[in-house]
Every structure is written in C-alpha cells, then in structure tokens.
Chains A and B, each alone.
Chain A
Amino acid sequence: MTWVTIGRLEDIPLRGARCVDTPEGRIAVFRTADNQVFAMEDSCPHKRGPLSQGIVHGTSVTCPLHNWVISLESGSAQGADVGQVRTMAVRNDNGALLLELTELRVAAE
C-alpha cells in the first residue's frame, strides 16, 4: 500500500473527473459539487464503459454508454442494476491529491 501524489484538486473540474494511469489500470478520480474526491476503476460493471466520461451528480456518476448509475462512495450500481466497481482510497491534503495503490510496478521501458 502506497500513497501516490496525483495532482491537485483544482485539476479536476467540479462535478467532473480525470483519469490516472497506473499499474492497476486506468483509475477515474471524481470531484463532486461539494469538493469530495473519490477514486475507482474507470470501468463500468455493465460493459466496461469509461465512467470518468459520465455525468457526475450528487455522489454518483452515470455511465456514458448505457446510463447505469454508480455510487462514488461504494462503487456499487444503483437502482435495479447490480454490479460493483473496485474503489480506491484517495486523500485530499490541503488541495494535494494522493491515491492509494496496492500494486507498484516498474514501468516497462
């Protein structure tokens, strides 16, 4: 488990998301209207839609491909849909964002 600096809060649009490429794959980092930050795999449990491209509302995101709604807090699909996205811890230290990664790997040169 390592905390990795990924950037600053202002780098992410309000009610928006940015991506972080890591050895664990592409992670979506979300910023809500009230400046909470969440991170999860950028892959919808339905058909791998890129959740970072969805519309963020409250503490949920709606997938751009077929409109599943995923809770940013728990990573689980809302409503009648069933599915789970892996979430990761992300910390906001006075505007600096740190993401917790389990797996570290040397980049392939």
Chain B
Amino acid sequence: MTEKLVIIGNGMAPGRMLDELFEKAPGAYDVTIFNAEPRVNYDRIMLSPVLSGEKSYDDIIIHDEAWYERNGVTLLKGARVTEIDRESRTVTAADGRTASYDKLVIATGSSPIIIPVPGHQLPGVLAYRDLDDVERMLEIARNGGRAIVIGGGLLGLEAAYGLKRQGMEVTVIHLMPTIMERQLDPPAAYMLKKALGDRGIDIITKANTKAILGTDKVEGIELDDGRIIPGEMVVMAVGIRPNATLARAAGLTVNRGIVVDDGMATSDPNIYSLGECAEHRGVCYGLVAPLYESARALADRLAGGSAEYQGSVTNTKLKVTGINLFSAGDFAEAPDREEIVLRDAAAGVYKRLVLKDNRIVGTVLYGDTADGSWFFDLMKKGSDVSAMRDTLIFGQSFQGGAPLDPMAAVAALPDDAEICGCNGVCKGKITSTITAKGLTTLNEVRAHTKASASCGNCTGLVEQLMKLTLGDRYNPAAVTPMCDCTDLGHDDVRRLIIAKGLKTIPAVMQELEWKTSCGCAKCRPALNYYLVCDWPDEYADDYQSRFINERVHANIQKDGTYSVVPRMWGGVTSAAELRAIADVVDKFEVPMVKVTGGQRIDLLGIQKEDLPAVWADLGKAGFVSGQAYAKGLRTVKTCVGSDWCRFGTQDSTGLGIRLEKFMWGSWTPAKLKLAVSGCPRNCAEATCKDIGVICVDSGFEIHFAGAAGLEIKGTEVLGQVKTEDEALEYIVALTQMYREQGRYLERIYKWAKRVGLDEIRRQIMDDAEKRKGYFDRFVFSQKFAQVDPWSERVSGKDKHEFKPLVVTGFSEAAE
C-alpha cells in the first residue's frame, strides 16, 4: 500500500529530496505539499539575477506544473500550515485545508530577521527572501530614487547590485568594519568594496541604524551618529532565523532549529525535518549545497535505506556579474596557524590560504577563483599539503614539479568533488550524465545537469570534465562549430564558400558535408547571410532560411502581432509624414504608437494580415521600411548640428542622412546602428554606437565598436578625416570589412576585439587600396540590396505569407 507523505514547505531542499525519492522509489508515496508561497518550486538562489534583470522568473523555475502532475504530487499553494496534530497525524493550514500523514517532513526554511528599530513597519521596508519581495523591490525601483540596504553580507550585496542594475542609487549600511566579514578577510573585503564602489554602490561600514524615517512610507534612515540618508526603500538583509515555531508548538525538540538526527528524523520518528529550519549536530545551514546533501540522505531513508548525513563543510561565492570571489572555512589569525598569500595588484588578484598542522583550514580567493574547488576539496578531506607547500598557492596545475596537465588534475578529483557551487553539482553527476545521455556540448551539459548554468564560474572545470569523459569527441581548444549540423566553425565556412565558389545553401551543405538534411535554425540564417554578402548579384535570397522578422519585414511581438517602423532619415520628419502615420493609426486602429530609441516611430500591435495594407498607405507618403528587424543597417541618429545648434561644428544632421541613404538596405552580420553628433557634447550619443561620428572644427572623428545593450562599452576611435566625403568613404569601407569578416550574430565590437583594433585601423585608415576595395564592393552590393521590401510586398511578393491558407471546418458542419 502506498504511504501518505506530507511536506510542509515547498523550497529547494524538499524539491531536491523528491527528485531523489522519485528516482529511488517511484510510486512509494502519495505526496501532498503545503506551501505558504502561492507558486511552484523555484531556484531561490537565482532571485538575485531576477532582481538585476539578468534572468526572469520563468528561467528559475525548478519544477513546473507538469512536474507535479507527472509525479502525482498534490501541491496546495498559498496554504500556510498552522497546526500539526501528532495524535491524529494530521496537519491543518490557516485556510482550513488539511491532510493526514504516515510520514511528515517539515521544511519551512527560515525567515529574514527584521530589526525592530522605530519605523520598521513602514511601507517600503522590505526583506529579501522570496519572489514577492523581489517584485516589491522592482515596483519601487521603477520610480528610481535611492535604496538603502541594511546588511553588507552576501544577500545584502546581491540586493544592492540588483537594485543598482535596476537604475536606483544604492547605499549599503554595514555594522562591522568590513563587509562580508564572516566569509572574507579584510584585504578581500577591501577589494570587493572597491569593485562595488566602481559599480556605483556606496558602502558605509561601522554604521548602526537608529531609526527608519518617514510618516506613511519610507523617506530615509537615521544612523547612530546622527547622519541621515534619504531613500525610498529599505532592504533588511541582516540574517535569517530558522522557522521552527510550528515544530515547537507540536512539542518537538527545538534549539535554534528543529533538532534532527543523522537520519534527519526529529524527536518524533514519523516526522522529519529538512532545509534551513533543521538543526543537525548543532548546526543550522543557510546555503543550498549542504541542504542538498541532507536531502539525499532523507530520500534514502524514505525509500527504506539507512543513509546517514554527516554534516557539511560549506563555501561561498558571490553572484555579482564580473566579480569572482570564493571563500571557505575559517581564516582568522591564530598562533598555531600559518598563511600563504599571493597578491597581483595589476590583475586584481588576491589569494590567501590558512593552514593549521599542514592542512588547509581556510581559503579566500578574489579575482581568480579557478582553484577554488581544488582547495576546497583538500580542505574537506583534511589532506596534508606539506609536500606541495611551496607551490600550493599557484594552484593545482603547478603541482608535481613541471606544470601538471590540468586534465590530470581534474581527473584526480574524486567523484564527490563539488564542481558547480550554485547548483550543488558534483563531478560524478556530470560525468555520469554525459555518458548516460550522450552529451557532447557545453550547452547540453548545462541543460541536463544545471552545472555552469547559473553564475558560470565553473565553466572551465566543466569543459575539462567533458574532455575527460568524451576524449577526442570534445575538444575545447578547437573552433566552436557553427551548430550541431557541422564540425566547421563560422570562419572556415566563410572561407570555403569563397574558395569553392559555393552559391546556394544546398551546395554549401553538400560540399561541406553537413550532418543534417537541411540544417537548423542556427546555421541556415547564417549561411543565407554569408551567401547574400559574398555573391550579391548571383545569390537568390532564401526567405525560408530567414528569421520571421526578416521574412515578413516587421518585428514579431510576444502575442504574434507585428510592429512596423518606417525610416525617418536621420531622425528628421515632417508634417506630411506625421499626418500619414496618424492616418494609418486611425485606419488600422493601431493600439500603440511609440517613439523608439533610434529616433523614429514604432507602430505596435498590427495583425499580420494587415501588414501589406499598412505598408501601402505608408508607401504613398514616401516611407520605406526602417528595417528595425534586420541584421543590417538600422538607424542613423543625429543631432541638429551646425544648422541650428550654437555649438555645432559641422552639419551632423546632413551627414547622418547621407550615411543612412547610402547604407540602408545593407545586410550585416548583426544589427548595425550609427549616430552622428555635431560636436563633442555628443547629443546623439555616438560614442556607444556600432559606428559613430563626432564632428569637430577640423573635421570628423570616426568611432566604432561601441555597445549599449546587455553590455555597455564606449567606442574606440578609428581615426580622424577632414571632409564629409572622406567620412562617408571610411565608414562604408569599415562596414564592408565587418560584413566580410564578421561571424553571423557577432556585433561589430566583438568582431573588432577578435581581429584587433590596430589591424582594422591599418586597413581602413592607412591602406588606401584596401579601403577602396571595400568601398567598391559595398557599392556594388547595394545595387541589389536597396530595394524597399515593403513596396515589393505591396506589389504582391510573398502573398502567401500574409493570409491563412484557408478558413475551414465551419461551413462543412452545416451540411
């Protein structure tokens, strides 16, 4: 007979436990979960990337609805258990829902500590624990202002970073002299504080909060020393307290947390406890890796086994993009301890190992954390390191005299060595999954094991494991293939297309021995671009190999409607144009009209069937496609320049329009955005564009390789020219060079980094013959590219794209 298993709390620990249980003993239990949060099980540690906007809630779901259905688990959402009746073996939630159990697991996690200073109940004082907290933070962040984070520990700093990314000013208040003092020694804390300072986060140490100010919402805080810091939000991240109230009320043994034995059983043998609420051998853990270890033991127990959890040694990493930090163990100084320190100021690296009796007891790594798991493993095992003391700090690859093959080092790691700290994935799990599922690429390993799928710190290690497991079938040093359909990289394919004179997609696939019959959604658009670029006059564009936006010349939106952005040359428009747009908006009941970041107007929410008619009306007013959807020339932003502006040095508007009229319609490896500013005040923001021009008295400064998207990067200077004609020629030549060498989807700044700025300057600025060659090839290609795709379609091209094959099934029924 199946037994009834009831779980209180649906956090990360019981989630993992159930995964293990269903693998070990499928169908053994009829499972019911009570969860106070109204949602499924998600990856709590990834709330920080959700807060910073680097991930969405959907990305961090661990078990979706289908998982509960598939495993026959009843999940009661929004059900906070208020009573456990051990007599009748039932639990009851606040809303009256109840269930009886044979075995019960209490996994209520912990609650954030809120310091009861005056004002702590004001709206705008938040904790940082669950998705609701994140949503509240994002709501306040939308209006900007300053966030005050109380607590400079792991959570507080991640919250600070996320809120900064959301555009708030951020101040962190920390009681101790250095931040993250439990995980970091003062030098590492100093480096971290500096790095966060560089990211615009103010950190005030040795500061105690006296009161939170405000009448009906937060307006700031007051410190003990009388300082007042104004702000719109206070996030308290000062620690957590195990949620043990329920267990205490039920009469179970409770210290700080719910006391469990090595089999995770509480003082009642039918009741177990797991997660942050449990106390094992006097320790309450606050990180997932140890919880996952105990989850494994409990799953085994519930499946009838006798596994014993032995406690864990933990380590910490900070999930702030661009900061590498690793800390484990105890690193306080003491007479019987020795330390080994390595500093490399130029590289921003600090490493410290603390030894006692020739064994590592503490590790702090900042800047370069590659050896973190090796040191951690030596520490956990208590290995004697005297033989390699002299070179220990240089890491694993320096051991054994001559630099050891890093592969041998990874091979030497035991199966239970932790590789991915974020997701608690050990070596054995990675290698066995690679073998069992036949994985050959890093992305597959990420998808199936979650290793390296979160912060990415362990990517190098994972790649080495793949090499180890797969041998020659995986070679991280080799070029990355375009996709799974070929072993060739982008550069090889481009070279071979020209060398072998391949002029159709089937020809490329045949000659270069593609492994699939007709490619995939990654290689086909790339090949189509390469062929368009290399054979502009001969190649017939293959629309079925284009992404939908480029196939229908509009941008698909989340609901399947499209948006339409007509060109406004250089961002300049007129009454007639605006009137035509207004008429289109009325006629087609366009739900949203928005000014884009590229100085033009976007009409959103247009039905696909209506596109040709919309274009026809816009076309009558002289509009052509703005190609806002294209891997090609998008916009040329301009400022008003010498025609109007009192600072203007050149006709920046005129040059922008000229560039756009010359270059529109051209396809490029990735999108290409330009801007021209009339003076160094740079009102057109030209210095974060793919290509930008800053006009000066003596001519035109050409910039390139900027980025202002996921990554932000100022441009590099290509060089200065005297006349507008030259500016046009040099910019066009640069564009053609990028078109010929860029890998599909590689933005100009990435291409420039790969081939080298000096090489580009040499070819475009110094080598007149090369420059002319590029320029001429661009001009030739434009003859075939400058056809307005909208008017083509208004005249009937690709009619099938815009209407359904048939509307059917309705009338037949009437017969």
> A residues engaging B (CB < 8 A)?
2, 4-7, 11-16, 18-24, 26, 29, 32-34, 47-50, 53-58, 60, 62, 64-65, 67, 69, 79-80, 82-83, 99, 101, 103-107
Q: List the A side residues contacting B525 at CB < 8 Å.
A: 55
Given contacts A18-B804, A49-B560, contact A104 B809 (CB under 8 A): yes
Nearest Cβ on chain A to B133's Cβ, whole angstroms: 25
Enumerate B514-539 residues with CB–CB distance to A below 8 Å: 516-521, 524-525
**Contacting residues, chain B, for A20 (C-beta < 8 A):** 804-808
Instruction: Please tell me which stretch of B540-548, B573-581, B693-701 contacts chain A, meaning at least 4 of its Cβ atoms lie within 8 angstroms of it.
Output: B540-548
Q: Which residue on A lies nearest to B446, using beta carbons?
A: A80
* Residue pair B448, A80 in contact (C-beta under 8 Å): yes
- Chain B residues within 8 Å of chain A by Cβ, number: 35
Q: Contacts A69-B520, A80-B448 known; list 8 others, CB within 8 Å.
A: A20-B805, A22-B808, A32-B518, A58-B518, A65-B558, A79-B444, A80-B444, A99-B808
15 example contacts (A-B, Cβ-Cβ < 8 A) are as follows: A4-B808, A6-B805, A12-B805, A13-B800, A22-B807, A22-B809, A53-B560, A55-B524, A56-B544, A57-B519, A62-B520, A79-B447, A101-B808, A103-B809, A105-B809
Q: Assess whether B812 is in contact with A4, with CB atoms less than 8 Å apart.
A: yes
Q: B441 → chain A, closest Cβ, in Å?
A: 11
Complex-state Cα separation, A54 to B524, whole angstroms? 12
What's the nearest-Cβ distance from chain B to residue A59, in Å? 9
Rounded to whole Å, the gap between the CB of B68 and the closest CB of chain A is 13
> In the complex, which residue of chain B has the Cβ closest to the Cβ of A34?
B517
Docked CA distance A58–B484 (Å): 13
Judge whether B644 is part of the interface by a CB distance below 8 angstroms.
Answer: no
* Interface flag for B814 (CB, 8 Å): yes
Decide if A105 touches B813 in the complex (CB within 8 Å): yes
With A14-B544, A50-B560, A54-B548 known as contacts, the answer to whether A106 contacts B521 (CB < 8 A) is no
B805 touches A7 (CB 8 A): yes
CB pair A7–B806 under 8 Å, yes or no, is yes
Q: Within 8 Å CB of B805, what residues of A?
A: 6-7, 11-12, 18-20, 29
Which of A14, A33, A53 counts the most B-chain CB atoms under 10 A from its CB? A53
Cα-based distance from A51 to B807 in the complex (angstroms): 18
Partner of A65, one of B518, B556, B812: B556
CB-CB under 8 A from A21, the residues of chain B are 804, 806-808
Chain A residues positioned under 8 Å from B813 (CB to CB): 23, 104-106
| B88, CB-defined interface residue at 8 Å | no
Interface residues of B in 42-66 (CB under 8 A from A): 64, 66
* CB of B224 to closest CB in A, whole Å: 50
**Binary per-residue interface labels of chain B (773-813) against chain A in the complex, 1 for a CB within 8 Å, 0 otherwise:** 00000000000000000000000000010001111111111
Tell me the complex Cα distance, A5–B806, Å.
9
> 6 closest A-B pairs (Cβ-Cβ)?
A80-B447, A107-B810, A62-B521, A104-B813, A18-B805, A22-B809
Residues of A within 8 A of B517 (CB): 33-34, 58
Of B516, B545, B804, the contact of A58 (CB 8 Å cutoff): B516
Bound-state Cα–Cα, A11 to B801, Å: 10
Q: Name the one of B544, B545, B800 contacting A18, with C-beta atoms under 8 angstroms.
A: B800
Q: Which chain B residues lie closer than 8 Å to A104 at the CB level?
A: 809-810, 812-813
Judge whether B808 and A55 touch: CB under 8 Å: no
Q: How far is the CA of A61 from the CA of B321 in the complex (A)?
A: 34
Of B519, B521, B552, B814, the most chain A CB neighbours within 10 A belong to B521
Question: Quick check: A55 and B521 within 8 Å, CB to CB?
Answer: yes
Given A53-B548, A57-B516, do A2 and B812 touch, yes or no (CB 8 Å)? yes
Q: Which residues of chain A are near B558, meaning CB under 8 Å?
A: 47, 65
Find the B residue at minimum CB distance from A104: B813
Complex: A65 Cα to B558 Cα, angstroms: 7
CB distance from A13 to the nearest CB of B (A): 6
Specify which of A2, A18, A23, A57 is in contact with B518 (CB 8 Å cutoff): A57
Chain A residues in 8 Å Cβ range of B524: 55, 57
Q: Which residue of A lies closest to B525 (CB)?
A: A55
Assembly CA distance A12 to B556 (angstroms): 21
Q: From B448, which residue of chain A is reached at the shortest CB distance?
A: A80
CB-nearest residue of chain B relative to A42?
B560
B residues near A16, Cβ cutoff 8 Å: 544
Q: Are B809 and A101 in contact (CB under 8 A)?
A: yes
Residues of B within 8 A of A60 (CB): 520
Q: Which of A2, A29, A53, A106 contacts B556 (CB 8 A)?
A: A53
B561 nearest CB across to chain A (Å): 10
**Residues on the A chain within 8 Å of B520, using CB:** 55, 57-58, 60, 62, 69
For B524, B544, B556, B811, which residue has the most chain A Cβ atoms within 10 angstroms? Answer: B544
Name which residue of chain A comes closest to B551, CB basis: A53
Q: How far is the CB of B541 from chain A (nearest CB, A)?
A: 13
* Interface contact A82-B66, CB-CB below 8 Å: yes
Which residue, A47, A57, A65, has most C-beta atoms of chain B within 10 A? A57
Residues of B within 8 A of A55 (CB): 520-521, 524-525, 544-548
